[in-house]
Structure 1
Amino acid sequence: MRILLVASAFNSLTQRVHAELRDRGHRVAVELALPDGSLTDTVRRHDPELVVAPMLKTVIPEEVWSAYTCLVVHPGPVGDRGPSSLDWAIHEGAGHWGVTVLQADAEMDAGDVWASVACPVPPVAKSDLYRGEVADAALAAVLFAVERFAGGTHVPLRQDHEGLAGAAPRVRPYLDQSVRRIDWDADSTETVVRKLRAADSQPGVLDELLGGEWYLHGGHPERALRGRPGELLATRTGAVCRATTDGAVWIPELRPRRLPGGPPTFKLPAARALGDRLPPLPDLAPPPLPDGRDGTWSDIRYREEGDAGFLSFAFPGGAMSTGQCRRLLAAYRAARSRPTSVLVLGGERDFFSNGIHLGVIEAAADPAAESWANINAIDDLVEAVLTTTDRLVVAAVGGNAAAGGVMLALAADEVWCRAGAVLNPHYRLMGLYGSEYWTYTLPRRVGAAAAERLMREALPVSAAGALDLGLADRVLDCGPGDFAREAVALAARLASHPATAARVLAKKAALDRQESATPLAVFRERELDRMRRTFEDPAAPYHALRRAFVRKERPRATPAHLTGPPGHRAGPPVAPNGSVPCVTPVTGTALSDVPERPNG
């Protein structure tokens, strides 16, 4: 079936729907609903059999929904209406939520219901929930609705149908900063964390701190530190700790409030964002292998179960700065000194990794130099994984991964993906050739022809598609909250398997053969030569694309590689003025990943 996806951005959910529908044989195109474009003309040009809107912040025109069946994904249960559905669910402490696929019509979120799937609401940030439980429910609902439409006999139900919604429709307003604001003199740690989670990753919680106005992003409870409510207590790995009425919270990222007429601002590690404003504070650097049992938050953790070690990491947005890569490398080396036969890298429920940290690079005094430092730091990490010959290494990819993050996973002996993970194994949408030893690991996994196609097409790959291609060795069909437990059980079995010792012995011989043929250093040198030339060229598209990405600037047109069948065009899309490629990059945090405006 010809399906057109209409979205405000090619965000994580749109990517997943795109990949999963293609897996099922549908011909899928994408068009972005952009301010300067005509959605009516765009849809007519494609003339699809069905329009699906996985994430849409604008209204679908009557000329479109009256002529085509348009199915809109609303991140709320039947009867829920309004632009801040997930925000309200987390803000009010809902234990269960849902996703509804409804038909667009004249009234917002009030059309006929084609599918509705319930989901739990675990105590996680909104963006994590959106990419996890909500995305699982949304994908199930979309596939069910598409199947019903294709069958041609389904009659959708009105939302006022008796017993369908179970209650009168609830229309809630946009959750603005007057409700989100933290009262440091009155709010408990639990309340502060809940407000921060409901605002992640957009819009953040507006707050005053050290003479400036900032949006706070992310929040983790602190069990030991105490202080005067609102007081800054300590720093750790770029985050700041701030006291509440009964404890404290760690805040990993800040974003300055945009000044009238000023350029868009972007998130940075909190201590980096505060800069010279930050007073002298204790820096609570974590131990080489923090296990989390001290009650203090850490973005890197390690534990052991029998002969298996688990090195998990959770960096905001999946982006890995120079410092984060170096800290993870130090932890990896420490984990490698432990007496285990299997080492699992990853295993968290959200992002695995999206490669280098474009925000930190953009904020650097010399972005080209910081780009170079960052790419070498992540290369060092990948090299350490590739050259581990005394145990098996598993990459446990519980969430999405892109660019260098995919290549980090491919450096392992085995790749385990959760069924809901989406991989973007390419670089060109950011104007980069790529590094992280991809010219060795990707063809080794999928073959030279498939590697070239993946890089050229620059399209997302589902977990099932990754398994078929050879990018993954195992797909774990479980919920986001169950992935870590499933990975632990599998790793324990792998560590005790009789063949594991023989596999470990064979690794050293295989690496020796590779070094004799083409040393790994040769792959790295060739890749970095291309990357250096890009970084040092002020006119290279990478610099403009990076700036646009971190500031969440909308593209001027839908990227050409999304608008038609895979492989129908080669080379990067060109802007209408012939200058900067018009792309929505997928490295780092996806643009506008969580909807906060009406869905069609």
Structure 2
Amino acid sequence: MGLRILLLCSTDNGLCRRARLVLQRSGNTVRTATVADSDDIGKVVARTDFDLIICPYLTARIPDWVTRRWWPKVVVIHPGPVGDRGPSSLDWAITDQEPVWGVIAVTATDVMDAGPLWATRTFALPQGRRKSDIYSSIISDAAVQCIVEVADKAADPTYRPTDQADAHRPIAHARTRPRMRQSDRAFDWRDDSELIRRRILAADGSPGVRSHIADRSVYLYDAHPGRRDVVASAGAVVGRRHHALEIACGDGKSIWIGHLRVDLGDRWSCKAPAVSVLGRAGVPARSLSPIAGQASASATPEVFEDIAYRSIDEQVGELTFRAYNGAMSTDLCRRLARAIRAVSLRDSRVLVVRGETGKTFSNGLHLGAIECADDPANAAWQNIVALNEVCKELLLCPKLTLVAVTGSCGAGGAVMTQAGDVVVAIGRAVLDVHYATMGLRGSELHSFTLPRRVGAATAHRLLTECEPVDTTRALDIGLVDHVGPDIEFDLWLNELAHEYALPELWEKTIRRKHQHLAHDLGHRPLEVYECRELAEMAANLFDDSLGFAAKRRAFMQKGSPRPSTGQGVLDMEDLMNSRRH
């Protein structure tokens, strides 16, 4: 018989959803409660008894009576190794370039992260990656392992967690660190470009790093290496490509900034593509001459690219796109559709369409770009039409298309995958196949592709019950065809793509594709499905029939800094609750 487990979280993020799914699969009864403060926690806990309370991601303080009542079975997940304490653990680790890091599960006490130890994991910390990408992949993997171990130990009435003073410390210098403030993250554009980029990586996706571009106060996100031979004043905008801006640094190099928040005077903008959000602040960034590039894996890393193609060999081609936090702008969708169409003319048998391993695959519409637009409803309409074009190019591509879900995905991003002939996913991925929580009916040809894969009844449940699906469940119901390992996923994917390029399997898959399309579209053209979906989306977007505008705005303004007061620099972290147990 499983345990009754309560997951307390400030946001039901990817880690919380993964934890719930894996605990439920082990036979436990799991409830997730999203709480804003200590009062919320008290109300939730007072209503029901639990065998175990786990806090995968919690910023509110847990009331003392809760920890006493369930001692020691109120367990907090901390993204740091034994001995590390504080609310900015991962930020400091990335900033300090720690080679090895860890995750611990500890009993909640009145001293943050100091309670008895239930479980711990250590791992190599990759360099040059965004905090949110590390959190959603390596940190999340280790945290889920710790959570499973905690549940197993909690089922043993004789088990007692270990005092941290007696526990092995694999990282000897781990210690209590304060909350990282903007003063700790600060840089000058005259600094070394790599130092600047590392500061931004350590604050991305939240809270960002406070700086200035074109005399505008901004928070910076989505930083990438730029050119090595830039002759310009440090801090000058020296180029643009797609939605990104190129900024000169003090060492003669540059960095690309893909996303910003900007101070609009009476408020801060939401996080949105850099070129468009600066335009909202009156900076004509689009007047800059764009820097040329090419959608090729051999293109210089000095040029910002979010779509790249490489021909692995004569059998397999691979098209990789990068969507920041899974958000696919209208421009990205249009270019991706054109890229699929172009590479479909090449000689390879199999086309792999994928994201970057360890990062969010796709969440569909770019809500930030929509919110920042002069006419959000029309911007959303253009975005959904462009995303539909990607789906149609995948569905009707003459090649065998293998869509590789390289990280978690949701809404239109999850449904988009169903247009592929073969769908595979990395094991850690969670798929949220629904739109309803954002006030949308959705499109992406879901009324055609989803029932073909999972059946009409299951498709209806996925779209209406709004429950996340892990890859085990996705494989069971036919949402994906194969699940790959979290470690060495790229190697596994390459081998699988070449298996599908073998004559017998390729011919079988292509024949089935053509038969299904001919049969399913023979009496009802694809345009009929799309028109019906878009008719419902038009009501959602232009009539706001399900509250999309308010839900989008609330989602995009989470964690936003307050308006300027004219009384000095605001520290974004001062405006957010510190993480307290």
Contact 1:224 1:296 in 2 (8 A): no
2:522 match: secondary structure: helix
1:187-243 deviation line (CA, Å, top 9, x unaligned): 222211211110100111100121211001011112445133222111011100112
Cα gap change, 1:539 to 1:455, in 2 (>3 Å): closer
Report how many residues are paired: 555
What is the alpha-carbon distance in structure 1 between the residues aligned to residue 422 and residue 577 of structure 2? Answer: 38
Aligned to 2:439: 431
What is the alpha-carbon distance in structure 2 between the residues aligned to residue 402 and residue 85 of structure 1? Answer: 28
Aligned to 1:132: 137
2:12 match: secondary structure: coil
1:211 aligns with 2:215: yes
The partner residue of 1:173 within 175, 178, 192 is 178
What is the alpha-carbon distance in structure 1 between the residues aligned to residue 171 and residue 185 of structure 2? Answer: 29
Gaps of 5+ in 2: 561-572
Aligned to 1:80: 84
1:377 aligns with 2:386: yes
Aligned to 2:308: 301
User: What root-mean-square deviation, in Å, do the aligned CA atoms of Structure 1 and Structure 2 show?
Assistant: 2.1
1:49 aligns with 2:58: no
1:597 aligns with 2:573: no
1:271 aligns with 2:275: yes
Decide which moves more: 508-517 or 357-366.
508-517
Aligned to 2:520: 514
1:339 aligns with 2:347: yes
In structure 2, what residue type is equivalent to 1:210?
A: A
In structure 2, what residue type is equivalent to 1:598?
A: R
Contact 1:348 1:484 in 2 (8 A): no
What is the alpha-carbon distance in structure 2 between the residues aligned to residue 152 and residue 497 of structure 1? Answer: 57
What is the alpha-carbon distance in structure 2 between the residues aligned to residue 469 and residue 370 of structure 1? Answer: 34
In structure 2, what residue type is equivalent to 1:298?
A: E
What is the alpha-carbon distance in structure 1 between the residues aligned to residue 141 and residue 24 of structure 2? Answer: 17
Cα gap change, 1:514 to 1:162, in 2 (>3 Å): closer
Cα gap change, 1:58 to 1:36, in 2 (>3 Å): closer
The partner residue of 2:362 within 339, 353, 358 is 353
1:9 aligns with 2:11: yes
Which aligned runs of 4 or more in structure 1 are off by greater than 4 angstroms? 164-169
Aligned to 2:452: 444
1:459-503 deviation line (CA, Å, top 9, x unaligned): 211112211221111111223xx3233212221232135321332
What is the alpha-carbon distance in structure 1 between the residues aligned to residue 538 and residue 181 of structure 2? Answer: 44
1:98 aligns with 2:102: yes
1:527 aligns with 2:533: yes
What is the alpha-carbon distance in structure 1 between the residues aligned to residue 499 and residue 548 of structure 2? Answer: 44
1:21 aligns with 2:2: no
TM-score (norm 2): 0.91
Aligned to 1:574: none
What is the alpha-carbon distance in structure 2 between the residues aligned to residue 210 and residue 295 of structure 1? Answer: 22
2:493 match: secondary structure: helix
In structure 2, what residue type is equivalent to 1:196?
A: I
1:488 aligns with 2:494: yes
What is the alpha-carbon distance in structure 1 between the residues aligned to residue 410 and residue 292 of structure 2? Answer: 28
1:80 match: secondary structure: coil
The partner residue of 2:470 within 453, 462, 480 is 462
Contact 1:126 1:197 in 2 (8 A): yes
1:504-549 deviation line (CA, Å, top 9, x unaligned): 2342232111111332222111111111111111464111111111
1:375 match: secondary structure: helix
C-alpha displacement at 1:599, in angstroms? 4.8
Aligned to 2:375: 366
What is the alpha-carbon distance in structure 1 between the residues aligned to residue 578 and residue 292 of structure 2? Answer: 39
1:38 aligns with 2:44: no
The partner residue of 2:551 within 545, 551, 555 is 545
Aligned to 2:192: 188
C-alpha displacement at 1:348, in angstroms? 1.1
C-alpha displacement at 1:281, in angstroms? 2.4
RCO comparison, higher one (Cα < 8 Å, 6+)? 1
What is the alpha-carbon distance in structure 2 between the residues aligned to residue 347 and residue 301 of structure 1? Answer: 10
What is the alpha-carbon distance in structure 2 between the residues aligned to residue 236 and residue 166 of structure 1? Answer: 42
